[in-house]
Amino acid sequence: MGKLFGTDGVRGIANVELTNELAYKLGRVGAYVLTKQNHHAKSRLIIGKDPRVSGDMLESALIAGILSAGCDVIKVGVVPTPAIAYLVRHLKLDSGVMISASHNPAEYNGIKFFNSEGFKLSDDIEEEIENYILNGKDIEIEPSGLKIGRKTEVYKANDLYSEFVASTIDTDLEGLHIAIDCANGASSEVAVTTLRALGAKVDAFHHIPDGININKNCGSTHTEVIGEIVINGGYDAGLSFDGDADRCLAVDENGILVDGDKIMAICAIELQKANMLKDQTVVSTVMSNIGFEEALEKRGMKALRAKVGDRYVLEAMRENGYVLGGEQSGHIIFLNHNTTGDGLMTAVKLLAALKKSGQKMSELAGVMQVYPQVLKNAKIKNEFKHTYMEDAVIAARIKEVEAAFHGRGRVLIRPSGTEPLVRVMIEGDDQALLEKYAAELVSLIESRLGKA
């Protein structure tokens, strides 16, 4: 990754790391790089945000930068990230920008770009933008007069997005009583209106954003909250979004988590029934539970594992034409409908499957057995964290542990992308045995490679 862009745009503490100056440069340079090949008079970009307090500040700086590059801006206010990805395509725009730090606390914010096809930027484009900004270079044009961009404000974006999401299912949701946790984020309005328009009885929680309560003890990083609400309120199911609503997790009528693996399994079965699952394949990540693979295999489907991160899931999907992929975290991509993870679409797809099944959510989620997983970290100096498999003793012990599971478990070792850690994940039937093996491998890795 470059020095500005991380795995999901440019992110940092607003007004400290992610400053107005940087936002202005990202708007100016990003607009230029993304639209310089266009031949029509003026390029058009759409810009949205989640409701955190720094959104207005960064939005103003971004817009100023974009306008200074001679591009017009359509400002749509608070919308989910997947709405921007959809609207870029629907309105035939040249690019989209979302201001959000997703599931991070309110003091953080982020800026992510989408190209004209609604996809996040490639590494090459991000590096080109970084090259201008980090090397102090300015863009090759300096518009003036009539060539300066103009801003238009449109506040019906959520309506367009809501209609689009609702159109992706072929049933109503009447008869379902649902609780939703909006994380005081971008889904706070549109999730409620969409589900109610489809006929569900909806009670919303954490849906009154004040700029500083986004993700605070609520949302998809705190699913125990919606779980308790569902148990106490007698709901059919609960849904929990993150701050920018590009992911969604659920709980069943007993408050038990229905994670991204279970949601993908349920949705894969629905796609298979409709003969719409390309090559009977779903793209997951190396962190997906082994029970997910088993659930698919029992029904003649298979899972293709990608590296952790939605960008790698999407790469595998686009390369092979697969239509469903995602992560345990609830970041799920329905590529035949949208070009990025879409929490609201995930919600309506899951609820449509629930309605059609006539079952309880716990029964629907029972398509997949969840194997216990134990995750521990070995603290290793950064320079050694990629060399663990070069050590014959470590490699041999990993193989021995895997063999002991007799196909009913697995070992996953991977270096952290950001910290001096090697992550040890072991999966199998016996929780106590998993804890023992994980602790043993952590100790072995630290002793062989040197503890940080």
Q: What percent of the chain has pLDDT above 70?
A: 98
Q: What is the pTM of this model?
A: 0.91
pLDDT bracket for residue 308 (50, 70, 90): confident
- H or E element at residue 266: helix 260-273
What tens digit of pLDDT does each residue of 368-404 get? Answer: 999 998 999 999 888 888 888 788 999 999 999 989 9
Q: What is the pLDDT of residues 199-213, one digit of tens each?
A: 999 999 999 999 999
Mean pLDDT, the chain, as a whole number? 94
Whether the predicted pLDDT of 296 surpasses 80:
yes
Average pLDDT over residues 219-225: 97
Percent residues over pLDDT 90 in the chain:
86
Count of residues in the chain: 452
pLDDT over 70 (residue 418): no
Q: Which pLDDT score, from 0 to 100, does residue 179 have?
A: 98
The catalytic site residues sit at 102
**Structure confidence at residue 40 (pLDDT):** 58
What integer pLDDT is reported at residue 187 of this predicted model?
98
- For the stretch 166-184, pLDDT in tens is 999 999 999 999 999 999 9
Give the three-state DSSP class for 377.
strand
CB 11 within 8 A of CB 18: yes
In which band, very low, low, confident or very high, does the pLDDT at 1 lie, cut at 50, 70 and 90?
A: very low
CA pair distance 359, 269, nearest whole angstrom = 15
More confident residue, 276 or 287: 276
Cα–Cα–Cα angle for 240, 111, 334, rounded to 5 degrees: 45
pLDDT tens for 320-351 read 999 999 999 999 999 999 999 999 999 999 99
pLDDT at 72 over 70: yes
Q: What is the pLDDT of residue 41?
A: 67
CA distance 51 to 106: 9
**How far is CA 86 from its chain centroid?**
15
C-alpha dihedral (354, 358, 360, 366), degrees to nearest 10: -70
Chain segment 85-141, per-residue pLDDT in tens: 999 999 999 999 999 999 999 999 999 999 999 999 998 999 999 999 999 999 999
Residue 39 pLDDT > 60: no
Q: Each residue of 96-112: pLDDT tens digit?
A: 999 999 999 999 999 99
